Amino acid sequence: MSEKRLLITGAGGFLGQTLCRSALSGWSVYGAVRRRSPFDDRVHSVQTDLTSPNERKRLFAAVRPHAVIHAAAEANPNRCQKHSTAARRINVDASIHIAELCAEREIPCLFTSTDLVFDGNTPPYSETDLPSPISIYGFQKAEAEKEMAARYPQTVICRLPLMFGYCLDGPSGFEAEMVRSLASRKRVGLFFDEFRTPVDTESIASGLLWLLNRGIHGIIHLGGRTRISRYQMGRIAARRLGADPSLLDRISRNDVEMPAPRPADVSLNSDRAFSLGYTPADFETAYWGVIRRLATGP
Ligand SMILES: NC(=O)c1ccc[n+]([C@@H]2O[C@H](COP(=O)([O-])OP(=O)(O)OC[C@H]3O[C@@H](n4cnc5c(N)ncnc54)[C@H](OP(=O)(O)O)[C@@H]3O)[C@@H](O)[C@H]2O)c1
């Protein structure tokens, strides 16, 4: 095992689980977790609550990382909207302090931000476009980005798109729900008027690990090459599964009341990353890989 220690926060999360496993080939991996585990015995799991400044310092003192990928967050926009003060502690305060702890040690720090820092009115968005968030989640991520860029400019701010993937601790998330519904012939409502540039979690994990060794800093977009709506994604899943496509209902984001406002089109322009060598998997191939795995088991 490598002597180089990589600290990954949010190691038990949707992205964190895959990221930890992908990192094992080049790093000794330390996963900071709150409740969920990294789901791989080879990852050194460290229990911590990152909203406590003392716990953050203790974590860094215990692990003595050579690099950090900060993937812990309150990443659910509706929960951020309803519990903004609690969300702020992890999304803003903890993130800025983690960038500071990395700057003090002169080690690389990758921050996982989001395409939801944009309002969705003028896509596609490149790194030079100014954030224009419309939800508390987007505001908090944009604020963390701004502070990090101003105070700790060596931080790499990675804006991630909508992700899809297979959770190692069992099927969960949007795609798992959709596959279950289609198999039991339940109707599924999918937005036809909300567009993203989705990427599978394995490609995002490879992209983040690749960035660690590039000497890049500042903002970088890690979106995919395909702009697509949830409804179109559902059509692909139904067709490839041989399920009845009439079970999919086209719904508008304006017809569903949710705590957090939803932007129409936050497609990312990721040409900077593509030109540097970021190569996410082809959308349909990766999407079908995940859907098939969810339908048939690991
Ligand atoms: N999912 C997406 O489509 C998407 C899109 C764009 C950007 N992102 C960003 O990508 C990153 C990873 O997202 P994700 O989807 O993997 O989110 P996730 O599944 O919700 O994972 C986030 C992790 O953060 C941990 N966490 C939250 N509060 C914590 C605290 N106080 N102390 C320690 N750990 C804490 C959670 O631990 P517990 O589970 O144990 O509570 C959870 O495992 C986030 O920065 C998110 O904003 C995600």
Is 9:47 a contact under the CB 8 Å cutoff? no
Q: CB–CB of 30/6 below 8 Å?
A: yes
Ligand 1 mean position, distance from CA 2 (Å)? 26
pLDDT value for 273 = 97
CA–CA dist 184, 249 (Å, integer): 15
Q: Where are the beta strands (DSSP E) in 103-244?
A: 109-114, 156-160, 163-164, 188-191, 195-196, 199-200, 218-221, 228-229
- For residue 103, report the distance from its CA to the centre of ligand 1, in Å: 22
Residues of the chain falling short of pLDDT 70: 1, 298
Q: Which pLDDT score, from 0 to 100, does residue 233 have?
A: 97
> 185 alpha carbon to ligand 1 midpoint, in Å?
31
> Domains in the chain, ordered, with CATH?
5-163+200-225+270-276 (3.40.50.720), 164-196+227-268+282-296 (3.90.25.10)
Q: Is the pTM of this model over 0.95?
A: yes
Per-residue pLDDT at 157: 98
Would you say 159 and 114 are in contact if contact means Cβ atoms under 8 Å apart?
Answer: yes
In the 8-state DSSP scheme, what is residue 89?
Answer: I
Q: Which atom of ligand 1 is nearest the CA belonging to 163? A: 3
Contact 195, 228 (CB under 8 A): yes
**CB within 6 Å of ligand 1 — which residues?**
10, 12-16, 33-36, 48-51, 71-75, 90, 112, 114, 160, 162-163
Cβ atoms 138, 127 nearer than 8 A: no
pLDDT score recorded for residue 4: 96
Number of alpha carbons in the 13 Å side-chain half-sphere of residue 52:
10
Return the residue whose CA atom lies nearest to atom 5 of ligand 1.
Answer: 162
**Rounded distance, CA 273 to CA 84, Å?**
32
d(CA 133, CA 141): 9
